[in-house]
């Protein structure tokens, strides 16, 4: 990356609220609004029905299922972005060069949704993105919008597309919108069937959640219209290797993933990059054993760089649950607020993202050094 990308707006919809400032403050305070799922129970070994805990974005999506749930989360995150930047939808879209809109959604698989299609991005453009644009009164032509069904590594890919759009003068500003919900019946059933769901009889699993994160990026060459957050995306990387063999449960996967994490990290531009001990680390440790193993192996592989130092780590899943494709965007919003409010422990942050297929992405953030705390 020749020039760091400027983050000039953030917005969030989550179980801890639909204002990015209050959600980040609640997370920092250790709050969690996990509650019993209203309409989903599991059967215990003794034959009793028992509720599970979830992180629900009430009342935004209460009673909604499927695409409607994504749509309402996305609308709330967009509204929060407009509030944060004090810009209207018209002001954000009436730009020259035009606005690029990149939407990150979960991978569409038979295991989770009961269908899959090579054309799923095009289908979701019509089923989710077009209604979203209509509701928010946005005008973004098809040639300036992209749908990525990449789960957790989608944000790194979106940053690559944004950088290309800026470099070619195709886009003057880019909004990245990531949304996911594991609280529809099909997703909960999929988590349960694959032993990924945390239950009274299976404590090493995820607590399902949902969120939407919205980011405004501006080209360094154009006049800024958003908020000077003082935070830049300094580098990003995404592994292009073949998936790890097997399912995400054998312990060898921890070592394989850790080595891929380290390779992806070392592939970033080394100029001015401090050691890992000089970063705030945002980890997608969701309660699953294989994720913890990967992070543990990475610590062992890099021990010589932080010997005797406790790394600064943040675990968004502890406050928001498993939010899937929205996870990296949520972490970025939290990191921006930590820089703005001056409770980040370092002036650099890194967002680590792992997928059960073995893919890895790393995003490095830097504070400009002139950040003024805001309310």
pLDDT tens figures, 173-223? 999 999 999 999 899 999 999 999 999 888 899 999 999 999 999 987 777
CA distance 103 to 359: 19
pLDDT tens, position by position, 133-145: 999 999 999 999 9
Cα dihedral value 292, 296, 298, 302, nearest 10: 160
pLDDT at 347: 94
Q: Give the distance from CA 228 to its chain's centroid.
A: 21
Q: Is the peptide bond before 130 cis (omega within 30 degrees of 0)?
A: no
* Sheet strand arrangement including 348-354: 145-149, 99-105, 173-181, 210-218, 5-13, 231-238, 360-367, 348-354, 280-282, 312-314
Q: Which residue has the higher pLDDT, 275 or 320?
A: 320
DSSP letter for 339, please: H
Helices 289-301 and 252-266: crossing angle, nearest 10°? 50
Mean pLDDT value across residues 226-233: 93
Q: Which residue has the higher pLDDT, 166 or 272?
A: 166
pLDDT at 340: 96
Environment class of 34 (CB within 10 Å of its CB; exposed 0-12, middle 13-18, buried 19+): middle
Q: Which residue has the higher pLDDT, 23 or 97?
A: 23
Mean pLDDT value across residues 231-255: 68
Q: Which residue has the higher pLDDT, 231 or 46?
A: 231
CA distance 161 to 164: 5
Mean pLDDT value across residues 235-247: 67
pLDDT band at 18 (very low <50, low <70, confident <90, very high): very high
Mean pLDDT value across residues 317-327: 97
Map residue 15 onto helix, strand or coil: coil
CA angle 317, 288, 327 (to 5 degrees): 35
pLDDT at 374: 38
Res 281 pLDDT > 70: yes
pLDDT at 1: 66
pLDDT at 62: 79
CB atoms closer than 10 angstroms to residue 42: 17
Q: pLDDT exceeding 90 applies to what percent of the chain? A: 69
Q: Which residue has the higher pLDDT, 240 or 66?
A: 66
CA distance 217 to 11: 12
pLDDT band at 269 (very low <50, low <70, confident <90, very high): confident
pLDDT at 253: 72
**Among the ranges given (40-44, 52-56, 136-140, 285-289), the one the predictor scored with the smallest mean pLDDT:** 40-44
Averaged pLDDT of the chain: 89
pLDDT at 4: 85
Token couple for 17: 């609220």
Compute CA distances 28 → 311, 318, 342, 360, whole Å. Answer: 17, 11, 12, 26
Is there a contact between 149 and 158 (Cβ–Cβ < 8 Å)?
no
Res 292 pLDDT > 90: yes
Compute CA distances 169 → 38, 156, 220, whole Å. Answer: 49, 20, 11
Q: Which residue has the higher pLDDT, 56 or 47?
A: 56
**Among the ranges given (197-211, 224-238, 249-263, 300-314), the one the predictor scored with the smallest mean pLDDT:** 249-263
Query: Based on C-alpha coordinates, what's the Rg of the chain?
Result: 20
pLDDT band at 265 (very low <50, low <70, confident <90, very high): very high
CA distance 289 to 204: 6
Res 370 pLDDT > 60: no
């Amino acid at each position: 990356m020749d020039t760091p990308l400027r983050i000039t707006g953030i917005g969030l919809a989550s179980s801890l609220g639909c204002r990015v400032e209050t959600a980040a403050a609640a997370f920092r305070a250790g709050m969690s609004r996990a509650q019993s799922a209203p309409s989903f129970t599991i059967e215990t070994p003794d034959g009793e029905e028992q509720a599970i805990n979830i992180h629900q974005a009430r009342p935004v999506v209460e009673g909604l299922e499927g695409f409607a749930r994504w749509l309402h989360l996305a609308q709330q995150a967009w509204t929060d972005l407009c509030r944060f930047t004090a810009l209207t939808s018209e002001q954000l879209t009436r730009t020259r060069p035009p606005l690029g809109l990149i939407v990150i959604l979960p991978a569409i698989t038979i295991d989770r949704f009961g269908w899959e299609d090579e054309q799923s991005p095009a289908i979701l453009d019509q089923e989710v993105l077009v209604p979203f644009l209509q509701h928010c009164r946005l005008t973004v032509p098809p040639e300036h919008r992209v749908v990525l069904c990449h789960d957790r590594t989608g944000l790194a890919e979106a940053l690559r597309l944004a950088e290309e759009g800026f470099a070619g003068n195709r886009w003057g500003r880019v909004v990245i919108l990531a949304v996911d919900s594991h609280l529809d019946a099909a997703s909960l059933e999929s988590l349960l069937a694959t032993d990924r769901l945390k239950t009274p009889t299976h404590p090493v699993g995820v607590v399902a959640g949902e969120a939407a994160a919205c980011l405004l990026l501006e080209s360094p060459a154009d006049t800024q219209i958003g908020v000077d957050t003082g935070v830049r995306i300094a580098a990003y990387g995404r592994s292009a290797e073949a998936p790890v063999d097997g399912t995400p449960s054998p312990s060898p996967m921890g070592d394989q993933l850790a080595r891929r994490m380290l390779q992806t990290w070392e592939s970033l531009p080394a100029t001015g990059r401090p050691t890992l001990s000089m970063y705030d680390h945002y980890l997608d440790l969701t309660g699953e054993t294989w994720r913890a193993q990967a992070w543990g192996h990475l610590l062992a592989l890099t021990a010589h760089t932080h010997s005797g130092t406790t790394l600064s780590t943040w675990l968004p899943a502890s406050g928001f649950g498993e939010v899937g494709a929205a996870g990296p965007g949520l972490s970025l919003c939290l990191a921006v607020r930590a820089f703005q409010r001056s409770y980040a422990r370092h002036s650099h942050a890194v967002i680590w993202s792992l997928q059960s297929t073995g893919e890895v992405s790393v995003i490095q953030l830097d504070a400009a050094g002139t950040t003024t705390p805001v309310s």
